[in-house]
Homo-oligomer: A and B are copies of this chain.
């Protein structure tokens, strides 16, 4: 089984891009032509499923050669119930057909046999249609809750991204709490960083990176410096670029000095915020492509100036 980390690093090198595109179905923000084209046939549920699947198919067609991966956000599919989840399965299938890695952003977590069930649902070994290449997970339940996910990654060549320092303004409520007896130098997010680095030791591939990654928000560059230093073999999944305010400069500390080791995700700023909801299919595809190219250029521009790049 090839390590997920090696597959991801190879895709990043091949495409010269560490930018990934988030897929968050928001029916009310989609271009009008999507809803019109799919409205003609079938039930309301079929219309919903087809709208979401068609929208993502167009996004994927527009970026498949630019992005190493896409990141479907499960919440936005789950909000639409069964039709939404059918569209999630369609979207995962189509992304993989087009050679994209799929990072399922589910922030799942639980213990024991329940964690095993989530791993079967999203990393493989069961009967689920939601299996991608990696899954985001939450660390609050501790090391033993993460082990079933790590074992599934080992078995199926999949990856994890564990929440370490998230991009929201309130992320510090818990994550920034200072740990006693640490001379004021350690915080909860650093404790989680240590845990994640240690969990990932057994899954380091020939690329030098582990298949157990970390989620580190683009909105906290100072903390990113500290986390990056503590876990050199960990790939960072960096949300918060674009709509949440993170810039190309902000994400630089998430990379290692050689310009490797992070993927940056944008969703709304690539696929929504349309100048005109009535735009044509060709214009929509061009817009998504241009925005992705710009994001890659912005980030690659900063990475080119790293000391050892």
Task: Give A residues with C-beta under 8 Å from B.
Answer: 24, 48, 73, 75-76, 78-86, 89, 107-112, 114-115, 117-118, 120-122, 126-130, 138-145, 163, 166-175, 177-182, 184, 188, 191-192, 195
Contact of A127 among B48, B73, B111, B141 (CB under 8 A): B48
| CB atoms of B115 and A75 under 8 A apart | yes
CB distance from A98 to the nearest CB of B (A): 21
28 contacts between A and B (CB under 8 A): A24-B117, A48-B127, A73-B110, A73-B114, A75-B108, A75-B121, A76-B117, A78-B130, A79-B128, A81-B129, A82-B82, A107-B109, A111-B171, A139-B140, A140-B166, A140-B174, A141-B168, A141-B174, A142-B168, A142-B171, A142-B172, A144-B168, A144-B169, A144-B173, A177-B191, A179-B180, A180-B180, A180-B184
By a CB distance below 8 angstroms, the chain B residues around A142 are 166, 168, 170-175
CB distance from A94 to the nearest CB of B (A): 16
CB distance from A235 to the nearest CB of B (A): 20
| CB atoms of A141 and B129 under 8 A apart | no
Q: What is the copy number of this chain in the assembly?
A: 2
| CB atoms of B81 and A127 under 8 A apart | yes
Report, nearest first, the 5 A-B pairs whose CB atoms are least far apart.
A144-B170, A142-B173, A142-B170, A178-B180, A75-B117
By a CB distance below 8 angstroms, the chain B residues around A78 are 117-118, 121-122, 128, 130
